[in-house]
Structure 1
């Protein structure tokens, strides 16, 4: 057989293989672009579901689900807005079933349903926007945790960290809320970009930010073959307090030692801060108030402790306000005026004021949202680790 015939046979085999591969692929529908952020700040959402009877958009910037319409190709769409620039979670309801947007790779990390995310940029870059500034790094770390399990944290190091091997940094431990994961402050809160931008503006000190997973009970159950326990029904009930105390034990005994061994952290209380949102804020307050030798800066975002718990478990904090005010360089409490935790958080502020415990506060518009959390992070980080 001559070389020409061999080449022809080889080409024939290749064509047959390509054809067979094409037959094996499932049919592809039309390209769906979603979400599409338009120049006028309106946003177009699309979802392909030819057989669906009804599709709705459910978005955090809408008060109620919005009906979508179907075209001849079976693509449902709706244009809403203009939308105030920010990052928002959303999803589709397809014949009553909530689904993510399959055309969008950005999603909300969560233990339960994972919503998609839409980023509506401002005319001027917002504090969480990607800007042309030096950027820090995000690292995923795994550490030995409670009951023989492996814990996970997301760690931000500031720009220049790897280029300055002799420099040490203060550390901010930042804890997400109920059902959130260790990725939420990174992927939704955009904490790394907020810090990059504030650093470029000279408004914050370079710092390491450690974002742990707050649900120790769920992780232990998962790694030991059990079922994730239901969340506590009472925010300051015995079960909630026990889980918060377990988190504190893990943070103090495992997370902090791991970080201080593997990162160039300044290992003293004046260079440690702790903060958190919602459940993470309650964990923050409990961890800080029971370890005043560990943290000099405390930030509670949309969270509080009841007067009963403060009186019962943390009486030295309020019975010796002069000592507390000397120890804490910052105690911050913030909440949105429409937050379902607004009443309890304001009562906590009033309690601290009556006990003569110094604190700084910020009450914003809006509810229990990550839009507000980004505001709080941008407001508090410039106050950390200042002389």
Structure 2
């Protein structure tokens, strides 16, 4: 009798599990389907819908709005749309059904950008191969909490350690990598594909094995939304203390934590700092205020952006700080921005400011604008230049 009951329970659980796996669908729908010519087909079962469209960064934008394309309803009630051939890249998208934004229920790959959740897919056979998880030695990604005496907070940080770190006795250099406005300590590891990029570069011997430390650049936040004791409100793009200078002022606390808890080389020649947008400003401000700390600086899609009436000490006498940084020396100051980036003018003005004091830098101008597509490329190009 006990065996019969057990068999019944197992049989019932199996049926329930299968229902969960199939989501109750009678017919498997593949979406997105990457075709042999690198076109992509999207499908959605929405028999009662009047209109279905797909929006995403693989479509030409409509001004500042994301590109959109209409799906066509088939005789079976399945809506579909096939793109033209797409270039190698990581793309994001979502559906709009009768005016309501929905995710693709057939695509399990989702990612958060500030408060927006989107589906993603990768077109390979090109630069996006660097973003893929390959059969190479892998590093580790951990989330740690550290004490920031300056901010009087216990804060969360994401740390990538290179392949073999756990079994090695070697000490490694460190790249401190900062996110943009609206981001947090999850942004570079998720949207930036930092672990995949570093694994692949190190495996190809294009980059030195290094730690990558990804901090939360919002000084009043202890951690990413949902990862702290704070109320689980909707994430916001602009934090009220964005230009307080507190992130930059407190950054030595991060360096101290890393160098007290990890096997890293504790000298200027083995420290780099880089960031995108807001994080690019943080990087240039932090490095100028700590001219003996970083030999490598990366400024991605950014400039000196703080309000002119700011009273934060880290922004005061900034030209003099840049002159001191120049006089003390550094190995690489790397600036990159897209031709259509909305911060292009401010970036140009910052370069003119550097030129006026004879501050040497390397400049890269790429296609595109203020996008993760560019920032992933910048990391892929910047990391191999470090610690050589």
TM category (shorter chain) comes to 0.7 to 0.9
1:1-387 alignment, distance < 5 Å: 6=1, 10=5, 14=9, 27-28=24-25, 30-63=27-60, 64-122=67-125, 126-145=129-148, 149-164=153-168, 166-219=169-222, 223-225=229-231, 231-232=237-238, 239-242=241-244, 245-253=245-253, 255-305=254-304, 312-318=316-322, 320=323, 324-386=326-388
**In structure 2, C-alpha distance between the alignment counterparts of 1:194 and 1:156, rounded to whole Å:** 11
TM-score, normalised to structure 1, is: 0.84
Relative to 1, partners in 2 of residues 1:82 and 1:265: Cα closer, same or farther, differing over 3 Å? same
Q: CA deviation at 1:46?
A: 2.1
Aligned to 1:3: none
**In structure 1, C-alpha distance between the alignment counterparts of 2:11 and 2:175, rounded to whole Å:** 59
Relative to 1, partners in 2 of residues 1:58 and 1:325: Cα closer, same or farther, differing over 3 Å? farther
* Cα pair 2:139 2:195 within 8 Å, conserved: yes
Q: CA deviation at 1:380?
A: 1.2
**In structure 2, C-alpha distance between the alignment counterparts of 1:308 and 1:213, rounded to whole Å:** 21
Q: CA deviation at 1:98?
A: 2.5
**In structure 1, C-alpha distance between the alignment counterparts of 2:258 and 2:49, rounded to whole Å:** 50
Larger Cα-atom Rg? 1
Relative to 1, partners in 2 of residues 1:93 and 1:214: Cα closer, same or farther, differing over 3 Å? farther
Relative to 1, partners in 2 of residues 1:18 and 1:224: Cα closer, same or farther, differing over 3 Å? closer
Task: Provide Cα deviations, 1:198-239, integer angstroms capped at 9, x if missing partner.
Answer: 223332221100111222334489634486785559xxxx95
Unaligned runs of at least 5 residues, structure 2? 61-66, 309-313
Relative to 1, partners in 2 of residues 1:376 and 1:217: Cα closer, same or farther, differing over 3 Å? same
* Number of residue pairs the alignment of both structures matches: 371
* Cα pair 1:149 1:223 within 8 Å, conserved: no
Instruction: Identify the range of structure 1 (284-293 vs 126-135) with the bigger mean alpha-carbon deviation.
Output: 126-135
**In structure 2, C-alpha distance between the alignment counterparts of 1:263 and 1:137, rounded to whole Å:** 13
**In structure 2, C-alpha distance between the alignment counterparts of 1:378 and 1:124, rounded to whole Å:** 9
Unaligned runs of at least 5 residues, structure 1? 1-5
Task: Provide Cα deviations, 1:90-122, integer angstroms capped at 9, x if missing partner.
Answer: 122222232332322323332211222110001
Q: CA deviation at 1:338?
A: 1.3
Instruction: Identify the range of structure 1 (7-16 vs 83-92) with the bigger mean alpha-carbon deviation.
Output: 7-16
Relative to 1, partners in 2 of residues 1:295 and 1:70: Cα closer, same or farther, differing over 3 Å? same
**In structure 2, C-alpha distance between the alignment counterparts of 1:311 and 1:11, rounded to whole Å:** 70
TM-score, normalised to structure 2, is: 0.83
Q: CA deviation at 1:317?
A: 3.1
* Cα pair 1:302 1:368 within 8 Å, conserved: yes
**In structure 2, C-alpha distance between the alignment counterparts of 1:115 and 1:19, rounded to whole Å:** 31
**In structure 2, C-alpha distance between the alignment counterparts of 1:332 and 1:120, rounded to whole Å:** 28
Task: Provide Cα deviations, 1:273-309, integer angstroms capped at 9, x if missing partner.
Answer: 1101111111111222122232221101000115986
* Cα pair 2:142 2:160 within 8 Å, conserved: yes
**In structure 1, C-alpha distance between the alignment counterparts of 2:7 and 2:198, rounded to whole Å:** 58
**In structure 1, C-alpha distance between the alignment counterparts of 2:135 and 2:39, rounded to whole Å:** 26
Task: Provide Cα deviations, 1:327-366, integer angstroms capped at 9, x if missing partner.
Answer: 2221111000111111211221122112211111100011
**In structure 1, C-alpha distance between the alignment counterparts of 2:128 and 2:120, rounded to whole Å:** 18
**In structure 2, C-alpha distance between the alignment counterparts of 1:102 and 1:17, rounded to whole Å:** 25
Relative to 1, partners in 2 of residues 1:300 and 1:83: Cα closer, same or farther, differing over 3 Å? same
Relative to 1, partners in 2 of residues 1:17 and 1:252: Cα closer, same or farther, differing over 3 Å? same
Task: Provide Cα deviations, 1:158-201, integer angstroms capped at 9, x if missing partner.
Answer: 1221221x211111010111222322222222222222222233
* Cα pair 1:306 1:348 within 8 Å, conserved: no
